[in-house]
Structure 1
Amino acid sequence: MLTGYLFITPAVAGSVVFVLVPLVLVLWYSLHEWNVLADTFDFVGADNYRALAADPNLPSVLRATALFSFGLVVLNLTLALLLAVLLNQKLRGTTVFRVLFFSPVVVSLLAWTIVWGFLLQDNGGVNSLLHGPNWLRSGGTAMTAVIVVQVFKNVGLNMVLFLAALQGVPHELYEAARTDGASAWTVFRRITLPLISPTILLTSIITVVGSLQVFAQISVLTQGGPGTSTTVLVYYLYQQAFQFHAFGYGSTLSVLLFLIVLALTLLQWQMRKRWVFHES
């Protein structure tokens, strides 16, 4: 018994120190007005939450967050699944393409974002071919550009997860379906998708949570602009806490972010019974 507790102690201690304690502290800070410059820490109760409800910038911030998350999740999962299906075929050169698509995952996020920042400038590499707008300084294209940069960065991870799931599907099922005259689309819809649905659930949760935590890409590429068109919740939290030194209000935004992530994760977990194989 003691040996078992000793084995789990490091994991439990890490969860308490780095997860539970910070959550409690953020909740405590959200009930205070903390001015680092003036060295004051005053209890204000629910004032920060009232300010949150009345914040005129919050609707646009939440709208930008929802747009970024939706675009990223849909494009990432769709492209990752498509690439996995293609690379699962017995064709020459698939190993090389697997490496090419996965390599951005291991590249430094900051380096990746800086390079794309140069490529998407008005006179950057992309416009030398397309002669398009200033992608990062136009309200109609800035969010799209940020989403595409993030999709290309992480699509390889979901692709590998989907590829592993596809290779675990029994070939006997495919052979039986072809013998019965099922079309390729019917086989994919009736056999492949149900059997890889647990992996789809996993990648969906990971991608949704990751999309709500995006910061470096926004900070480097657009700084939340033009206007507030790309100011997502995490970047707005950073502005309030570390640029305007409103740490109490920034903590309140952190609580809001935590509740949104928790709600979406629980929603996906509850909905799994309707579409994930073996969960009904």
Structure 2
Amino acid sequence: MSVTYSRIKRRKAIYGYLFIAPIMLGFLFFMAGPIVGAFGISFTDYSLLKPSSFVGLDNYRHVFAQDDTFWVTVKNTLYFSAGLIPLNLTLALALALLLSSKLRGMGLFRTAIFTPVVTSVIIWAIVWKYIFATDAGLVNQVLHFFGIKGPAWLYNKHLAMPVVIVTSVLKKVGMNMVIFLAALQDVPKMYYEAATLDGASKWKQFTKITLPMISPSLFLTLIITLIGSLKVFSQIVVMTGGGPGTSTSVLVYYIYKLAFKNYQLGYASAVAFILFFLVLALTLVQWSLRKRWVHHEE
């Protein structure tokens, strides 16, 4: 009996490993392998134009001690994140509160707001690049109608990044809105009824009931939005090309230029892993602070 049971158990284990084998092989060959390979390359002077050589930590030393462009891109990346995250989360929560009511036509509005999420980011960026065009752009045409001369939005170092931030917010806000909608629907209505009987104002109900109850979802969206903002690339390439000057050059775009324009693959890999550790550090900081404001956790 025990021998038969052991044989059946072994057969089930084999079947299980066979079922997960394709995804595991894909992960090893297309994710884990390239990541390990790139980490090794980051310690070399690897270039398509000359033979590679091992340089140890020289790439990392050069990044922190001598590469002024790297620090500019870090500043721009953090600027983008600092602008995008509060705008995205605030707008997403406001839309979720507005669209959580069961009025006629709310489904249509939810679909319209979510549609940009499934739209190609390249197409989205191209459309908004033309909307903010200097001469024939829709924004400047509207301003011209009111007798206002519109600026060169994407060619002004003070305006280019805010434009990219706004277009990125409009692109991604629908995803966070859906998450907040689901969270709002799980808040028990009896809490609001009790608060109303006690004379609590709408603002008091929002700060004392809604926010604490949806804080796990808020924490999730915060991490997702932060990681996404640090990896911004397509909008920069299409709309500004990192310009004017280096005013919109972010870390991922800088890595792309180093690797595929300057062919400094070893140095680009070092910068890429610095970005990885930056994302990891910020995520761990948020994770360690979650118990101070995230409620309703088991």
Please indicate the TM-score interval, normalised by the length of the shorter structure: over 0.9
Aligned residues: 279
The one-letter code sitting in structure 1 at the alignment partner of 2:177 is: M
Pair 1:187 & 2:205 matched: yes
Q: 1:72-103 deviations in whole A, cap 9, x for unaligned?
A: 11111110000000001233321121111111
The one-letter code sitting in structure 1 at the alignment partner of 2:127 is: V
Task: Assess if the C-alpha contact under 8 Å between 1:120 and 1:136 holds in 2.
Answer: yes
1:224 corresponds to which of 242, 247, 251: 242
Pair 1:136 & 2:154 matched: yes
1:66-105 mapped onto 2 (5 Å cutoff): 66-105=78-117
Distance 2:173 2:241 in 1: 24
Which residue is 1:262 aligned to?
280
Q: How many angstroms does 1:14 deviate by?
A: 3.7
1:1-280 mapped onto 2 (5 Å cutoff): 2=13, 3-38=15-50, 40-53=51-64, 54-123=66-135, 124-130=137-143, 131-279=149-297
The one-letter code sitting in structure 2 at the alignment partner of 1:135 is: W
Distance 1:162 1:183 in 2: 21
Distance 1:18 1:275 in 2: 38
Q: 1:42-98 deviations in whole A, cap 9, x for unaligned?
A: 111111112111101122111100000111111111100000000012333211211
With the length of structure 2 as denominator, give the TM-score of the two structures: 0.90
Q: 1:234-260 deviations in whole A, cap 9, x for unaligned?
A: 001111111111111100111111001
Superposed CA RMSD in Å reads 1.5
SS at match of 2:154: coil
SS at match of 1:43: coil
Distance 1:231 1:238 in 2: 11
Task: Assess if the C-alpha contact under 8 Å between 2:39 and 2:270 holds in 1.
Answer: yes
Which residue is 2:5 aligned to?
none
Q: How many angstroms does 1:145 deviate by?
A: 0.3
Distance 1:257 1:37 in 2: 25
Task: Assess if the C-alpha contact under 8 Å between 1:272 and 1:279 holds in 2.
Answer: no
Identical aligned pairs, as a percentage?
52
Task: Assess if the C-alpha contact under 8 Å between 1:104 and 1:152 holds in 2.
Answer: yes
Greater radius of gyration (CA)? 2
SS at match of 1:34: coil
Q: 1:198-247 deviations in whole A, cap 9, x for unaligned?
A: 11111111111111111110001111111111000000111111111111
Q: How many angstroms does 1:136 deviate by?
A: 0.5
Do the aligned partners of residues 57 and 172 (structure 1) sit closer, same or farther apart at CA in structure 2, a change above 3 Å counting? same
Structure 1: which 5+ residue stretches go unaligned?
none
| Range that drifts further, 10-19 or 76-85 | 10-19
Q: 1:165-193 deviations in whole A, cap 9, x for unaligned?
A: 10111111111111111110111111111
With the length of structure 1 as denominator, give the TM-score of the two structures: 0.95
The one-letter code sitting in structure 2 at the alignment partner of 1:126 is: V
SS at match of 1:42: coil
